[in-house]
Amino acid sequence: MNADLFPRPRTEIAPGAVHVPDWLDADRQRELVEACREWSRPPAGLRTVRTPGGGTMTARQVCLGWHWYPYAYVRTVVDGDGTPVKPFPEWLGELGRRAVRDALGAEAAPYDIALINFYDGDARMGMHRDSDEKSDAPVVSLSLGDTCVFRFGNTETRTRPYTDVELRSGDLFVFGGPSRLAYHGVPRVQAGTAPPELGLTGRLNITLRVSGL
């Protein structure tokens, strides 16, 4: 049986956390992948993030607007080539505000940060909270390429209760309100599941945030 025969409904995973399948059409996905390729080029391009404990994140990252490194936002790539972070484009902010309208029926403050994570090989992301922003505006997450398991948990612990959601290329996930500081992560990416016409090997995730800075 082919899962695509069944429509995937919009689902509220937790209060304020909504999954909207197939939110981006194929053309928009291609445009975003192309934009990510540009943003990934040096200077201030895709880099490996080192954690204070001496580890490295397996997903590589590039930032727009504000540069995130564990655990602060700054304007230059202090943990990389030292150059200024790339600007955050207005059109991406508009996309974010439209996402919040569609997912939550609400207006969000202007977005000014994008963190773009690239997952290839065995890359994944551990359970964490997005808590370095000084704003409670919803986080907008756009998925491109390979399907992943996105684990969406609770605000108290990294462990259960959580819900595993399959995020496919073009899906939108928004979390705000009581879920804004929920733990979440990506335990698994299913290699080779990206739509072939996208021309992407691996998975890209774009999260949009409001810095409040």
Ligand X SMILES: O=C(O)CCC(=O)C(=O)O
Query: CB count, 10 Å around CB of 210?
Result: 22
Identify which of residues 2 and 147 has a Cβ nearer to ligand X in the complex.
147
Identify which of residues 179 and 205 has a Cβ nearer to ligand X in the complex.
205
Shortest spacing between CB 186 and ligand X, in angstroms: 5
Dist. CA 196–CA 50, nearest whole Å: 32
Helix (H) or strand (E) holding 95: helix 90-104
Identify which of residues 104 and 208 has a Cβ nearer to ligand X in the complex.
208
Query: CB count, 10 Å around CB of 73?
Result: 20
Shortest spacing between CB 61 and ligand X, in angstroms: 8
Backbone angles phi, psi at 27, to 5 degrees: -65, -45
Shortest spacing between CB 89 and ligand X, in angstroms: 18
Shortest spacing between CB 5 and ligand X, in angstroms: 25
Identify which of residues 5 and 17 has a Cβ nearer to ligand X in the complex.
17
Q: Tell me if residue 174 falls in helix, strand or coil.
A: strand
Q: By the criterion CB under 6 A, which residues form the site for ligand X?
A: 115, 117, 125, 130, 141, 150, 184, 186, 205, 207
Dist. CA 107–CA 183, nearest whole Å: 23
